[in-house]
Structure 1
Amino acid sequence: MDIKEIQNLIKFVAKSGASEVKLEMDDIKITIRTGSDDRGESTTYVQQIPVNAPVAAQAPVQQAQQAPAASPEPASDENSKYITIKSPIIGTFYRKPAPDKPMFVEVGSSIKAGDVLCVIEAMKLFNEIESEVSGKIVKILVDDSSPVEFDQPLFLVDPS
Structure 2
Amino acid sequence: MSMDIKQIQDLIKFVSKSGVNEVSIEEKDFKITIKTNQEPTFVTASIPTAAPVVAAAPVAAAPVAAAAATATPATPAVAAAANDEAHLITIKSPMIGTFYRSPGPDKAVFANVGDEITPGKVLCIVEAMKLFNEIESEVSGKIVKILVNDAQPVEYDQPLFLVDPR
Where does structure 1 lack aligned partners over 5 or more consecutive residues? 1-5, 14-22, 31-43, 49-74
More helix by share: 2
Query: What residue in structure 1 maps to residue 42 of structure 2?
Result: 29
**Alpha-carbon distance between aligned partners in 1 of 2:53 and 2:152, rounded to the nearest angstrom:** 32
Look up the SS of the partner of 1:46 in the other structure. Answer: coil
| Aligned-partner SS, 1:133 | coil
The within-5 A match list for 1:137-152 is: 137-152=143-158
Is contact 1:89-1:150 (8 Å) kept?
yes
Q: RMSD over aligned Cα, in angstroms?
A: 3.2
TM-score (norm 2): 0.56
Gaps in structure 2 of 5+ consecutive residues: 1-7, 16-34, 44-51, 57-80
Amino acid of the residue matched to residue 46 of structure 1? V
Q: What's the TM-score, normalizing by structure 1? A: 0.58
Which structure 1 residue ranges, 4+ long, deviate > 4 Å from structure 2?
10-13, 23-28
For residue 133 of structure 1, what is the aligned residue in structure 2? Answer: 139
Q: 1:103, CA displacement in angstroms?
A: 0.2
Q: 1:85 aligns with which of 85, 91, 104?
A: 91
Counterpart of 1:155?
A: 161
Q: Counterparts of 1:10 and 1:152 in 2: how far apart (Å)?
A: 20
CA distance in 1 between partners of 2:41 and 2:159 (Å): 30
Cα distance in 1, alignment partners of residues 140 and 13 from structure 2: 37
